[in-house]
Amino acid sequence: MNLYIPSHCNNAEKPAGRIRQQNEEVILAAAVEEFARHGFKGTSMNAIALKAGLPKANLHYYFSNKLSLYLAVLSNILELWDSTFNHLSVDDDPAEALAGYIRAKMDYSRKHPEASRIFAMEVIAGSPCLSQYFNQDYCSWFNGRAAVFQAWIEAGKIDPLDPAQLIFLLWSSTQHYADFGSQICRVTGRGELTHQDFSRASDNLIHIILKGCGLTPP
């Protein structure tokens, strides 16, 4: 049922908007936990509702079905990841830009490992639910990032390399610590990865990747 708010009650619009936003955030957070644990097929709207502490009808008020909720989760993940690279410019200092991106992605992997694993499972399955997201607009966005790297190469700011391969390396290396955290813990004998572990890993990735680009880490 839609909430009717008289047009003259301007003050009522803000609380209603906040309630909607809060409910959506609670639902999305619960969905991330369930999808990460059970996958898309193994997750039910009822399980998400129980995790969120909301009636199942509330979920359907905000998200018509499980697929629409799953797509919202995936969209949020990609938008948060890609936003770090949205304003990349040929005028940026390559060392600063790459180091900043690596730290931002690693911090996201530390804070949201479940979200990263959901994305990994989706891609491994062939990206059946992301086919519309990986459209021409996304390809244009990707090519725009690669063009910045190519401009840096032509300006002699970084070593000659394949810009696309560099982007793939940045993606995979920063997401590894979220997607394969349990493996890292086992081989290093740690119970869990700490903030300090991620900080050291970020420093090492920055050193390795920037040196590979012919850059001095900032």
Mean pLDDT, 10 residues at a time, the chain of 218 residues: 35 65 91 92 94 91 92 86 85 96 92 89 88 85 95 97 96 92 91 92 97 95
| pLDDT value at residue 130 | 83
**Token digits of residue 142:** 């990707």
* Overall number of domains in the chain: 2
Is 197:190 a contact under the CB 8 Å cutoff?
A: yes
| pLDDT value at residue 15 | 64
Same structural domain, 35 and 121? no
Q: At what angle do helices 113-124 and 66-83 cross, to 10 degrees?
A: 110
pTM of the entire structure? 0.81
Per the structure, the complete domain to which residue 127 belongs is given by: 73-212
Same structural domain, 169 and 113? yes
Asked whether residue 218 is domain-assigned, the answer is no
